[in-house]
Structure 1
Amino acid sequence: MWILPLVGYIGSIVGFGFMTLAIASGLYYLSELVEEHTVVAKRFLSKLIYSIMVLQLLLCAVDRFPFWLTVLGIFSHFIYLGNMRRFPFVKLTDPLFLTSCGLVLINHYVWFKHFSHRQERAYQNYSYYDTPDIPSFTEIASYFGLCVWLVPFALFVSLSASDNILPTMGSEASSSSSASVGGGGSSGREKKGLAKALVDNIRGAIAGVGAVTGLKKPEDRL
């Protein structure tokens, strides 16, 4: 067969493109939703962090998850909780924010290594008459989704860079006075979520590449 594998490759590329667009649209919508309901989002994220910490304690006590890895996971969520003190604004150079980013990668690595070693040990001691006591792919994926990636992903969607904070009362007064004298002018830059800014930057980059290559006119919108 020659044509069918080619169709498979083309279909995979098209499917990946649609999936990427769907994820970008979802991030954009969630970011705007958080901007409109900041108080509700902060309350929801705080309760979510505490719930996951309790869930990790239950997994350690009942399912005998590793103690020190559980301590690392709870400590990581405690650090994530520190980002809520100035919600939804965050400094990208804030040590607490940078520590949170590092803990996300560390948690992913140590838990991936733990489940991999557990499967290797189970299959080494596996016999034909025994059923290996290992978590399924669905259980592992659910743990990573809920206990490792959910809170960092929610914070990424919800937090806004401090460079885009709305102007203070003093700056608003000065901008309004200058607007009344000059007959126009903007009141300042609006806040923008990290996910929303990322999507806008990617759209701008794609539009720039299209303009350079001649695929679209510079005045056309993406």
Structure 2
Amino acid sequence: MSSALPKAARRGLADEAADLVRAAIFSGHFPPGAPLREVELAERLGVSRGSVREGLARLEHEGLVRGGWHRGTTVIRVTAEDAQEVYALRAALDRLAATTARRAATAEQLSALDRLVAEMAAEIAEGGDAPRLVALDIAFHDQIYAAAGNGRLTSAWEAIRSQVHLLQLRRVDVAYDHYRARVVDEHRELAALLRSGDIRTLARRAEEHVESARRSLLAGLPTAP
């Protein structure tokens, strides 16, 4: 070999910066359209501007922020087109994940789903913190993908996971009553169907679960001019 391989870059601080900014976006600290300035973030996070820049690049790859050479980086504003595209892809992935998990899930993994549903119900009983409910919602679906045991399927989910999380947060902003009224029952039904032998019903309900979210969000989004 004529030249040596370059040394691997240490990207721990960039990953940490991405994790912290992502969490701040999901908590509502940085709302849609909010500017994300490298200098301010570097100072607040205690890392270099380079680490912040790399972290923001990761978030842009995830579809959470937008930026460019001649404009600042901002949190994305959710549009109807975003919702249509992401939820269409999610419906196909969730259907496959659910039917695959039906055949592969362990008793422990199914019990983990039950615990997450119980946590959702408890959260609602205590008042229903929207970001916490959405985090439990995403964790429930993480568990289904893990139970499916298909690495490429999980990678496809992870490619849109952050966008799904952001869309669900926007959904509760515009239609919280709809979300709160359905989140426990819909997830409890999915957990039950994963134990049953009715794969066709499971596949249909997995898609309908996503379609319900899509309709709810689109109904609350402002109409484009």
Structure 1 length-normalised TM: 0.32
CA radius of gyration, larger in? 1
Structure 2 length-normalised TM: 0.32
